[in-house]
Amino acid sequence: MQRYKRRVRDGFIAAAAHGNKANKNALKVDLVWLVKAFKALAAEVGEVVPVRVRMQKTQDGMVKKYYSREDYTLLPATFTWDALYEEMHKFVELGLRVYEPARSTFCKLLSIHCPTIRIRSSQSNVCDMCTIYQTRMRQGATADKTEELGQHTESPRRIREYKKDKAASQEPNSDLAVIVTDFSQNLTIPSVTTTPSQWYFCSLLAVNLFGIFYENDGTQTNYVYDEFASGKGSDQINSMLQHFIRTVLIPAGKKHLVVYADNCSGQNKNNHVIRFFLAQVQYGTFERVDYKFFCEGPHNKLVRPRFRPYSQAHKPRRLLDHGPHYQRSQRRSRI
């Protein structure tokens, strides 16, 4: 025992000095590539949010605290450190000649070298505006603040209604029909990728395309007609809706109709279109008709992508050349 104590005192079996050298495994990690790939991912899927950062500095022996605004990139809550590491691992396995860091080293290095890129927690994975409204209401909930929050949450509520109606329409033996209607962008024919110089002195033929997307089976019916046949008003919409109801919905035995459209007052949000749906209920075609509008905003993208120009959109399963349209006087006589 005395012999071992003497060796420890003399330093013969002491631990080797570190020598202020870095870890050999950590030195092999390509830090430049790792940080660059992480920032590229954050720029693609992240959301830049201005954040107030509390800081302090010592001046003349006094500690002063202040707030500084910095732009942070917040990743969705699904991008956890484990998920990011697995994506990096799959990328390296494809044949990339870089040294793969350990899981703990991966998290530590990115946290140090990318301090402004954070991952949203699952508890706070909410809209930034909702967080601001919530902070304001903590100081005192007034009628104006409550109304502002209600207007802000109106869009997600309508999106949830749309998804709920869509799920209900796909249930077996359901009498619910959900359709989304909209006009396409302005189209002209002939349509080519490069426009000849002579065409700039000519008036191309304008073509109207009205689409009705049937959520129950995922099919879309497109009504195509040129500018000499008719325009894009309420009469034309009622005529095409009547054709779709008579040829698709009535044979399917649907009794509850839910119609989604954008907030266009001249075409969709129109008294004649609303009266047309009222007539469908009054004459027993449907037991109930819900007419819902998407206002301007992110949720309006539920309607627009389905009705891109026909040359850009996917080929529809049914393409109908619509015939003459009923005018108001003719429609009144038929009703």
Asked if residue 314 is part of any domain, the answer here is: yes
Residues 6 or more apart whose CB falls under 8 angstroms from that of 55 comprise 65, 66, 67, 68
Is 326 in the same domain as 193?
Answer: yes
Is 117 in the same domain as 178?
Answer: no
- Write the DSSP string, 165-202: HHHHHTSTT--EEEEEEEE---EEES--SS--GGGGGS
Q: What is the pLDDT of residue 308?
A: 43
Asked if residue 149 is part of any domain, the answer here is: no
Of 125, 142, 158, which closes a domain?
125
Asked if residue 158 is part of any domain, the answer here is: no
Of 103, 125, 147, which closes a domain?
125
Q: Which domain holds residue 54?
A: 20-125
Q: What is the pLDDT of residue 182?
A: 83
Asked if residue 142 is part of any domain, the answer here is: no
The series of mean pLDDT values per 10 residues for the chain, 335 residues long, is: 71 56 63 84 79 72 74 80 83 71 82 82 61 70 75 66 65 82 78 68 80 86 87 86 92 88 70 88 90 60 43 33 34 33
**Helix, strand, coil percentages, rounded to 5, for the chain:** 45, 25, 35
Token code pair at residue 78: 């699904």
Q: What is the pLDDT of residue 326?
A: 32
Q: What is the pLDDT of residue 241?
A: 92
